[in-house]
Amino acid sequence: MISPGAAFCMFALVVAHTAPAIAQDSYPTRSVRIVVPSSVGGGADLLARQLGAGLQQRWKQGISVENKVGGGGNIGTLDVVRSPPDGYTLLVQNSSMVANYAISAKKPYSPEKDLTPIMLVGVSPLAVFAHPSLRANNIRDLVSLANADPGAMSYGSCGVGTPHHFAMEILKIKLAMKIEHVSYKGCSPEVTDVVAGQVPLGIATANLIAPYVATGRLKVLGVSGSKPHQLLPGSPTLESQGLSIQDFSIWYALMGPANMPAHLVNRIASDAAQILDSPTVRTALSNAGVEPLRGGPEVLAKRISLEMDQLSKLAKQANIQPE
């Protein structure tokens, strides 16, 4: 016969072993925040809202998307960095995080140490585009034209130290192309000036320039990716022009505060992947210029580490400094 004391010990052991499993299975038990450190309507915002709607339906809990803009993305990201690693505060970031880190003298947080990578959730191809009057229809034409009068041609980007800026500097170095950088406070004014002919050349995501390309007010010299972009039909890819440039795109990631438990990371990643892989969500994102890109915590962590190293070196080589 089991004594009362022994029975109590056995009961305590059962509770101790089953409580974590119950806690894991019950997540979430309250509302979850998804912080977006960029403005409404961008790729990160669209991804966060698609994820939020799907997770709310799946988890039967409220999901709020909070756009916290400012400080080059630092304000929103620091909010997540300072939150408990309990799965109730998540972050949708993009490669701007790594680009900003590469040029920042003051680094308020480390993308590697202060955040938990959960998964890659999407990618926006970048396009090199021009005013129709530019006497170049592809990248080879552009190099010949630019180097015929080194430094006379300029290109616009969405800002100093943005992924767009870094991508174009990579292109310049690989092709030994001599063109000058014109920085804008955002992508919209850059595209507007190229449409108006104020600047002959620019670089932006496909969705921003697609309406102007369709009406003949802009032309595409090359778009990243291995196949033509659906928003820019008939436009040449960089790869078809012999330019196998890795990461010539903007990637998006789902992250959380540092030290999130593995079971939470796996649960969130699994549910998020099922939402993003649904045909309705894929179509909605693709129409906005965001294509599928998947990779778990290890893949995302490796990408962040690699790009932090690469872009830090490139910033020194190209003398990219914060404004």
Task: Check residue 109 and give its pLDDT.
Answer: 95
Instruction: Tell me the backbone φ, ψ of residue 222, rounded to 5 degrees.
Output: 180, 140
- Residue 285's pLDDT is 94
Predicted pLDDT at 172: 92
What does the pLDDT read at residue 277?
Answer: 95
**Cβ atoms of residues 225 and 239 within 8 Å:** yes
Q: Convert the pLDDT of each residue in 213-228 to its tens digit.
A: 999 999 999 998 778 8
Q: Cα separation of 295 and 66, whole Å? A: 24
Q: What are phi and psi of 311, to 5 degrees?
A: -75, -30
Q: Enter the pTM of the model.
A: 0.87
SS3 184: coil
Q: Are 179 and 201 in contact (CB under 8 A)?
A: yes
Give residue-wise pLDDT tens across range 65-111. 999 998 888 999 999 999 999 999 999 999 999 999 999 888 899 99
Domains and CATH numbers, the chain: 30-123+250-299+308-317 (3.40.190.150), 125-241 (3.40.190.10)
pLDDT score at 3: 54
- The two three-digit tokens of residue 106, written as one number: 């003051």
State which residues of the chain have pLDDT below 70.
1-25, 244-247
Q: Which of 181, 202, 223 is nearest to 130 (CA)?
A: 202
Of 262, 255, 268, 269, whose CA–CA distance to 301 is shortest?
255
What's the pLDDT score for residue 16? 46
**Beta-strand pair 115-130/154-157:** unpaired
pLDDT of residue 25: 66
Residue type, position 201, single letter: L
